[in-house]
Amino acid sequence: MIRAVKGTRDILPPSSDLWILLEDKARAVFRAFNYHEIRTPIFEETALFARGVGEDTDIVSKEMYTFEDRDGASLTLRPECTASVIRAFIEHRLDQQPGLVKVFYMGPMFRRERPQKGRYRQFYQIGAEAIGSESPALDAEVIELSAFILAAAGLADFKLLLNSVGCRECRPAFIARLRERLLEVAPHLCRDCQRRAETNPLRVLDCKVEADQPLIGGLPSILENLCQACAAHFAAVQKRLERAGIGFQIRPRLVRGLDYYTRTTFEITHGALGAQNSVLGGGRYDGLAEMLGSKVRAPGIGFSIGEDRLALSLEETSCAAAPRLDVYIAPLGEAASLEAADIARQLRKLGLSVEIGLDGKLKRSLEIANRLDARFALILGENELASGLCQLKDMLTGEQQAIPRDELANKLRLEQVEDAG
């Protein structure tokens, strides 16, 4: 039997209903913040990620799905979407638009990392990018946007972790200090960190190996090495978050895993995921457009939500609620089946979800309606057809009443409003 490839999975009902709900909630919040959707290709030239993400990152060096096209070009399934968005920004001269460029995306990404709880080789992200300003006000608004989405999805008790990784002016001096300290410490760290100490020392701070944490905790702090401009920027972000009533924790070791980040970095975690508890990460990337060949300076900030992990958090905390079926119609006989199709058509045009039974047996139909968690069951038999009435059964209370056929739609619409309230 052929099975799904390792590290991939099928998202089946009712889980897929939750995913649709999450995406609908996110779209509503994006509209409120004036973001518009962008859809980029699933694969790009490999050079885009090598230059943008960083050749020495784990993503580029070990995790990308890269293949040679028939014309010899090296292509890669996107491991993240920020570089793709900035590529589109440059290619289509979106800097010519008035004001900020504020876009969001939803879709699959690909990394060949070890599958574990909430992590897959094909995974899904909901993300946003705001391009065109260095203002700390934009940083705070983007962080607020991300918190709005998680709250709208129903996630509670999440934690916002915040840091600044400096800029091209102050970070080199910090990295030099870090390299010096790592000469003593690196031999006692995990093999990945020993390699990172040579190629990308900042990434050592992002190590998740528990045994390494005491040594990493003693390394220099970036916050003690910020230039005056970066320190002022970080203070302004914190002030705006406090004014918005958004709680946060400062984490000097929070650096994110990609080379393009500057200044503000942030992460949101949730306890339901255990040790690998991040559901969202993001930060500022003021020099990325120039790294990718832009002649126009395009500072920006963004984030991505791990949709797989968010859905898992909601399921494990019982916050997930799949949309219930509004009406299950139980027709008894061929004539009733024809009438049921007409009624279903009318109700569906009103936005109600409707299922029609096919076996013509009342007891079996009511059992199915119950298993499908239908709000109402609508019974149609010969007597109902002759009288012009429908038997409407409330599946919560068990009460049943006869409703005139022409009043049915209004009755169900009112019940839907009451349930929503």
Q: Do domains 15-170+226-316 and 327-413 have the same CATH topology?
A: no
User: Measured in whole angstroms, how far is the alpha carbon of residue 353 from the centre of its chain?
Assistant: 26
Which residues of the chain have a pLDDT value below 70? 55-58, 257-259, 272-276, 317-322, 416-421
pLDDT of 367: 93
**Domains of the chain: which residue ranges?**
15-170+226-316, 327-413
Q: What's the topology of domain 327-413?
A: Rossmann fold (3.40.50)
The confidence score (pLDDT) of residue 417 equals: 54
CA pair distance 281, 275, nearest whole angstrom: 16
* SS3 category, 207: coil
Distance from C-alpha of 11 to C-alpha of 308, rounded to nearest angstrom: 10
Given a contact cutoff of 8 angstroms between Cβ atoms, the answer to whether 82 and 288 are in contact is yes
- Is-cis flag, bond preceding 14, omega within 30? yes
Q: Which CATH number fits domain 15-170+226-316: 3.30.930.10, 3.40.50.720, 3.20.20.150, 3.30.360.10?
A: 3.30.930.10
Distance CA 234, CA 212 (A): 28
Q: What is the DSSP string of 66-126?
A: EEE-TTS-EEEE-S-SHHHHHHHHHHTTGGGSSS-EEEEEEEEEE-----BTTB-SEEEEE
Beta pairing partners, 80? none
**What pLDDT was estimated at residue 119?**
83
In three-state secondary structure terms, 168 is coil
pLDDT attached to residue 421 = 54
Tell me the whole-structure pTM to 2 decimals.
Answer: 0.86
